[in-house]
Structure 1
Amino acid sequence: MPEITPIPLAQLTTLRTGAAPARMWDAETREELIDALQHVWAEGEPWLVLGGGSNLFVGDEPFEGTVIRVLTSGIETLPAPAPGIRRLRVQAGHSWDDFVAYTVERGLAGVAAMSGIPGTVGAAPVQNIGAYGQEVVQTLVEVELIDERTGEIQIVPAAELGLGFRTSVLKHHYGSVPDRSAVILSVTFDLAEVGPGERRIRGEQLRAALGLAEDDTVTLGWVREHVLTTRARKGMVLDDEDPDTFSAGSFFQNAVVSASFARTLPEECPQWPVHPDKDEALVIPLEQFDGYIPPARHAESDVKVSSAWLIEHSGIGKGFRFPRSRAGVSTKHALALTNRGEANAEEIAELARFIQGRVQSEFGLILQPEPVLVGVEL
């Protein structure tokens, strides 16, 4: 078993909190990962799988269990399902941004807008990562996973993962347990073979972020370069010289609310429909049809609202911090809580709770944390 001397999780997570766990194993191959998981499950001890550590907020007390570091890597080309499509299988521990760079270099479209997102490929489907209108769900074919309950290795189609806005059946949401306890071993994507030339960019949100008109044409490489620049301006690209990047990315999710609740918010608050409005299909059995067709029922879509706007308009600006606290809001991005210098988890949690309280008081909405919280409460 690949057991190593435990490393403080503050050194392995981008928010830089957490003590050394009781035990730690490094899994550098698919077989080592499977063996490690089956061992800890058989023992019935607490366990935590650690990829890039970019979506974890770990408490100050040592984790009394085994942390398994997923260090697997590799990209494999599979038979194409159709002309113009490249199907790739990627090991769970592979760096997400390295994977994106790989696709861009080969003229494969579908994930370039997600350049610079830290973490591993195996973590990407768990919360259906996305940026600028692109999401993993748009290119994901299936995942290979090992199920804790049965110990079986299974291939699960994307349609069975419950993928939604920053969620899936595998995600550990704050205050609840995942619908399915399992660990991803590999991920399969279908990407469009568009080549190195210029092309129009689909997606209004991405064009707006990059300052492109609808008819402008650019290469995938240009998109990746400019997305990385945009993320760096917001402190969302890891940089040891920039404390604004010592974060878990967006600490709070953009809130998804009903259309009626969204109308109670100020008109200036940025809002986006989560799904296009659709009329519900009406099926009338032929033997029951009497010639009357009732009016179609129109259901309003839910609305995603900007949590960053809510935070700033509740009186908490970029760079906010309590006196003598080593935790603070990023100076570049109001959604990111940052470790300004050896802050402990309680300092960051104190700031998070204060922000939640302010937004709830001003707008009647409780912001939900996006990272997985381990040994810490809000």
Structure 2
Amino acid sequence: MPGKSVKNVPMSTQTTGESISLASLTSLGVGGHAGRFVCVTDRTSLQVEVRQARAQNSRIYLLGGGSNLVVADEGVNGTVVQVAIKGQTILEETAEGIRIRVNAGEVWDDFVAHAVNNQWAGVECMSGIPGWVGAAPIQNIGAYGQEVASVIEQVEVLDLNTGRFENYSNSECQFSYRSSAFKKNKATPKAVVSVTFKLKKKNEGLVQYRDLQADFASSGQAPELQHVRDAVLRIRGNKSMLLEDKDPNGQSAGSFFTNPILDEEGRTQLLQKTEGAPPIYPYGDRYKTSAAWLIEQAGFEKGFALGAAALSSKHTLAITNQGNASSAEIVHLAKVIQAKVWDRWQILLIPEPQFWGFDPHPLMEQAP
């Protein structure tokens, strides 16, 4: 599937304004206006705008590609700063590998395509993930057997409290499943400015995920990087997980819930509650199970809808806007799913997107 495009919410053409619709800057397409909006394209402007917002006691909301975000219908009253700093620099290149610094405003999948084209291995399985590079370390994005934490060497950030730039090593980022220090430590918010990646020079991709293994078994192709990328894009496309404009499931935030991580007791309890064989995989010293499977076994089918909010017709892990959904409808559907999965399995589905303009958080973040 060479050349297949992935929809990404564009950088705003409005650099500064008192009000702007945030729905147009998110892949889900819901939400109200920002009190003040600014799009910054260089480090100095970022620092200046953050200092100005702090001086005015205006709450700062950091925006990248907008693909992992639910904004309340009422919008937000603070300052939305879209970090659209572009550019990438090769820091070191050897026969074995490469160190490359990529700025936060680069489109993630464009970077992956560039790496694959140059036969730099380590990100090929994360092809097709929407959004910008700046979000990658915050979420510790991952797919099909790879996590970005495995190839990040350093993350450069701007501390919103002090207004100073800082560098975080891989260990200081405190990466965990779909999380990091930047996501967890809300008292000390950081704006990601750039990410330094360390990639290997080899034309062999990772084929560990079962869907990828099945794809390569049927095609008979060698697992070259471009072949792995093409296979990942094909699999994601078949599940409507590429956020393409022509796809009726294209308005979504991607996977709405993370796959639950279970300890030994949780694994045993899940096995005892079902006569079938739930998908359970080793994850370090714990176990990962499928959120989509839990949702389906709790009684939800693909395409299930409440109002204009619906589960994707191809994947129960994606909540979609069917054209004119409100943020309230998206949240209501997520609440219903989360509550029913808890009632059926006593497993809490953790929402993956950020939520702006809700107080308190609209979904359960801890077990009741």
TM-score (norm. length: structure 2): 0.88
> Is 1:310 the counterpart of 2:322 in the alignment?
no
Match of 1:239 among 239, 244, 251: 244
CA shift for structure 1 position 204:
4.7
Secondary structure of 1:17 counterpart: coil
The residue number in structure 2 matching 1:338 is 320
CA displacement 1:316-365 (0-9 Å, x = unmatched): 0110013xx00011101101110011100111111111101111111111
CA contact (8 A) 2:221 2:227 kept: no
CA shift for structure 1 position 68:
1.0
CA contact (8 A) 1:273 1:303 kept: yes
CA shift for structure 1 position 202:
5.0
CA displacement 1:92-151 (0-9 Å, x = unmatched): 011000100111111111001101100010110001000001110111000111112322
Q: Quick one: distance in 2 between partners of 1:124 and 1:61?
A: 28
CA contact (8 A) 2:263 2:286 kept: yes
Match of 2:147 among 119, 128, 135: 135
Q: Quick one: distance in 2 between partners of 1:216 and 1:307?
A: 31
Q: Quick one: distance in 2 between partners of 1:79 and 1:319?
A: 48
Q: Quick one: distance in 1 between partners of 2:20 and 2:245?
A: 19
Structure 2: gaps (5+ residues): 1-13, 364-368
CA shift for structure 1 position 164:
0.6
More strand by share: 2
Distance 1:72 1:209, change over 3 A: farther
Name the aligned partner's letter for residue 333 of structure 2.
L
Name the aligned partner's letter for residue 100 of structure 1.
V
Distance 1:18 1:273, change over 3 A: same
> Is 1:34 the counterpart of 2:47 in the alignment?
yes
CA root-mean-square deviation: 1.9
Distance 1:23 1:270, change over 3 A: same
Q: Please show how residues 120-159 of structure 1 align to structure 2 within 5 Å.
A: 120-159=132-171
Distance 1:99 1:206, change over 3 A: farther
The residue number in structure 2 matching 1:273 is 282
Higher-Rg structure is 1
Match of 1:7 among 12, 20, 38: 20
Secondary structure of 1:263 counterpart: helix
The residue number in structure 1 matching 2:80 is 67
The residue number in structure 1 matching 2:6 is none
Secondary structure of 2:61 counterpart: strand
The residue number in structure 2 matching 1:185 is 193
Q: Please show how residues 1-378 of structure 1 align to structure 2 within 5 Å.
A: 2-4=15-17, 6-80=19-93, 83-171=95-183, 178=186, 180-195=188-203, 199=204, 201-205=206-210, 207-208=212-213, 210-212=215-217, 217-265=222-270, 266=274, 267-275=276-284, 301-322=285-306, 325-376=307-358, 377-378=362-363
Q: Quick one: distance in 2 between partners of 1:203 and 1:351?
A: 33
CA contact (8 A) 2:207 2:223 kept: no
Structure 1: gaps (5+ residues): 276-300
Q: Quick one: distance in 1 between partners of 2:327 and 2:125?
A: 31
Secondary structure of 1:171 counterpart: helix
Name the aligned partner's letter for residue 226 of structure 1.
A
Name the aligned partner's letter for residue 171 of structure 1.
K
Q: Quick one: distance in 2 between partners of 1:65 and 1:180?
A: 17
Q: Quick one: distance in 1 between partners of 2:15 and 2:310?
A: 37
Distance 1:212 1:72, change over 3 A: farther
CA contact (8 A) 1:210 1:227 kept: no
Distance 1:179 1:127, change over 3 A: farther
CA contact (8 A) 1:133 1:206 kept: no
Distance 1:154 1:209, change over 3 A: farther
State the aligned residue count.
342
Name the aligned partner's letter for residue 202 of structure 2.
V
Aligned-pair identity (%): 39
CA contact (8 A) 2:125 2:206 kept: no
Distance 1:352 1:201, change over 3 A: closer
Secondary structure of 2:153 counterpart: strand
CA contact (8 A) 1:108 1:193 kept: yes
CA shift for structure 1 position 217:
2.2
Distance 1:185 1:120, change over 3 A: same
Name the aligned partner's letter for residue 360 of structure 1.
W
Q: Quick one: distance in 2 between partners of 1:19 and 1:222?
A: 41
Secondary structure of 2:249 counterpart: helix
Name the aligned partner's letter for residue 335 of structure 1.
L
CA contact (8 A) 1:4 1:26 kept: no
Secondary structure of 2:233 counterpart: helix
Q: Quick one: distance in 1 between partners of 2:214 and 2:26?
A: 28
Q: Quick one: distance in 1 between partners of 2:278 and 2:249?
A: 24
CA contact (8 A) 1:329 1:335 kept: yes
The residue number in structure 2 matching 1:283 is none
Secondary structure of 2:196 counterpart: strand
CA shift for structure 1 position 208:
2.6
CA contact (8 A) 1:21 1:66 kept: yes
Q: Quick one: distance in 1 between partners of 2:32 and 2:349?
A: 27
CA contact (8 A) 1:201 1:207 kept: no
Distance 1:4 1:122, change over 3 A: same
